[in-house]
Amino acid sequence: MVKIAVLSDVHGNATALEAVLHDASAQGVDDYWTVGDMTVRGPESERCLDLLDAVQPSVYVLGNHEQNYQKVLKATPTNFTKPKQVMATILTAYDRRQLSPSHFQQLLQLPLTVTKHVGPLTIRLQHVLPNFASGHSLAPTAEQVNFDQATAGDVDIVIYAHTHQPIMRYSTRGQLILNAGTVGLPTAVNPRLRQPRASYLILTIDEQGLQNTEYRQVDFDWRLAIQIAKDRNLPYLPFYEQTLATNAYQYAPSAVSAYNIQHDMDKQAHLILSDNRR
């Protein structure tokens, strides 16, 4: 029998990650799998990777925010100007200043998918689709056909991330689809379901198959996480602060666009991308 902690969407929130890792250790977890977006938006991406190094996850897959690192390095000041691209440029530069060279290279080279064979089960991990790490195709209320697309291939279980919502459902072929929620940016659409807790998943698998699936919600000091962000001069701080304080998603493109205009973020991004080209 093996117990596996599934972690996703940490988003540079080391305060929440530390609480989750402490809880997972108390549950007797044997292995850790990560499903993307370990970094970006929060203030402590390097400490997050240090914490993960200590437990040695056997799986890392590419999230859309790690993928943005790749995009920013290839971008020019004239072809990466949408509001969320401006934000990605600035947050990538912020992370790059704190990440060790080895951690930054690790994140640049993550695979889109990893397939694990545990007991009789074949399990594929991916941030969204097998060939795409972003987008809203697997939102909790998305069409069944999208989830069937996500489970293409000879797999028994697909684990994905990105939505920040714990999910359990099935493909039309009966494959189990799981989402662990978010460690670092807890959000919910329904106000009565919002809570300031880090979410992760523990799978217990034995020689007969999946014995138990446990979604865990862990308290963490979200006020401390906000204070760390302030102390470290996190860009786009109001979005991070309000997400942690309200547990409602704050990063809508329209809100980011208004913030960019108000704070002249386009100019900052232009300078960053110009320096990258030198």
CATH number, domain at 20? 3.60.21.10
The pLDDT tens digits of the residues spanning 124-156 come to: 999 999 999 999 999 999 999 999 999 999 999
Structural domain containing residue 78? 2-276
**What's the pLDDT score for residue 92?**
97
The pLDDT tens digits of the residues spanning 215-239 come to: 999 999 999 999 999 999 999 999 9
Q: Please, which residues have CB within 8 angstroms of residue 57's CB and are 6 or more apart in sequence?
A: 7, 31, 32, 33, 34
Burial class (CB in 10 A: 0-12, 13-18, 19+), 137: middle
* Spans of the chain below 70 pLDDT: 277-278
Query: Domain count of the chain?
Result: 1
Decide: 185 and 12 in contact? Cβ < 8 Å.
no
Mean pLDDT of the chain: 97
